[in-house]
Amino acid sequence: MLNLQLSAKEFNLISDLVYNKSGITLHDGKKELVKSRLSKVLRKKNIDTFREYYKILVNDSSGDEIIAMIDAISTNFTSFFREIKHFEFLKSDIFPKLKKNDLIRVWSAGCSSGEEVYTLLICFMEYFGEKSANNFRFSATDISTRVLNKAIKGIYHKDCCKKISLDLLRKYFQKGSSNFDGYYKIKGKYSKLIDFKRLNFMETFNFADKFDVIFCRNVMIYFNKETQEILVNKFWNSLKEEGWLFIGHSESLMSIQHKFKYVAPTIYQK
């Protein structure tokens, strides 16, 4: 198998392109990771050098090549009930403040393969009851079409479902059989409540309505301060008055300019 070489110059060209298109910052320490992930793309496409690949990327007017590249290099780790404190806070502090008959809009921004938005849906359903389903609108977006397709399918291996109680698994998922033995699929009546869309945070947000709750967790760590600041202010504009923004446990809005009120660690309010 051909051992592809990625020079410092080629790495810089690719990281500038990634930054300009997605806001993701790839510092020098990521060179080996980029090389290994993109080498697979090059081999699949029978491209011999990164120089050639770069030319294809910049000349691709459809944008598909760039999407495939960002798909290959982005980190999509997620899980059900990840950072459980956020879901406990929703239940204890936010749900009681939401009026049962109002239309409630929730956005999982950077949803990856869907575990976050399905967890949100389960929490809302459990608290407000299924009869209120029509009062919720869930949006879930990601830049990566690969993970988004997985989220839309809503099929997860049993190992990924370990944090979901047996009761909730039975209620919200169908157990797979034959070819899907060992997998669970979110029931159609629940997945249809979620609007999945590809959205790049660097582009304009075109939501018709504002949100009550935005989860944007474990995404901003890949962005520099300047990009984080622009994004956080776009979230501000996308929230209703008094709406909430949740960020990842290892993230902070400390060193950026924003108008949010701090509510609890990694939880902010407009």
Ligand X SMILES: C[S@@+](CC[C@H](N)C(=O)[O-])C[C@H]1O[C@@H](n2cnc3c(N)ncnc32)[C@H](O)[C@@H]1O
Nearer to ligand X, 74 or 228 (CB): 74
Nearer to ligand X, 5 or 75 (CB): 75
Query: What's the closest the beta carbon of residue 148 comes to ligand X, in angstroms?
Result: 8
- Reading the block at residue 53, the tokens are 């690949």
Query: What's the closest the beta carbon of residue 73 comes to ligand X, in angstroms?
Result: 9
* Contacts with ligand X, residue ranges (CB under 6 A): 22-24, 74-78, 82, 110, 112, 116, 142-144, 147, 199-202, 217-219, 222, 248
DSSP string, 3-53: -----HHHHHHHHHHHHHHH-B---GGGHHHHHHHHHHHHHHTT---HHHH
CB 31 within 8 A of CB 18: no
Query: What's the closest the beta carbon of residue 143 comes to ligand X, in angstroms?
Result: 4
Nearer to ligand X, 154 or 248 (CB): 248
- Reading the block at residue 62, the tokens are 């459809």
Active site residue 37: yes
Measured CA to CA, the distance from residue 42 to residue 69 in angstroms comes to: 10
Per annotation, catalytic residue among 37, 51, 137, 146:
37
Measured CA to CA, the distance from residue 97 to residue 269 in angstroms comes to: 13
Per annotation, catalytic residue among 71, 82, 105, 142:
142
Nearer to ligand X, 4 or 17 (CB): 17
Query: What's the closest the beta carbon of residue 21 comes to ligand X, in angstroms?
Result: 8
The SS3 of residue 131 is helix
Q: Residue-wise over 143-162: b if at least 16 C-beta within 10 A, else e?
A: bbebbbebbeebbbeeebbe
Strand order in the sheet with 183-186: 155-157, 183-186, 173-175
Instruction: Provide the 10 A C-beta neighbour count for residue 222.
Output: 18
Query: What's the closest the beta carbon of residue 236 comes to ligand X, in angstroms?
Result: 17
Nearer to ligand X, 107 or 173 (CB): 107
Active site residue 93: no
- Catalytic positions, please? 37, 142
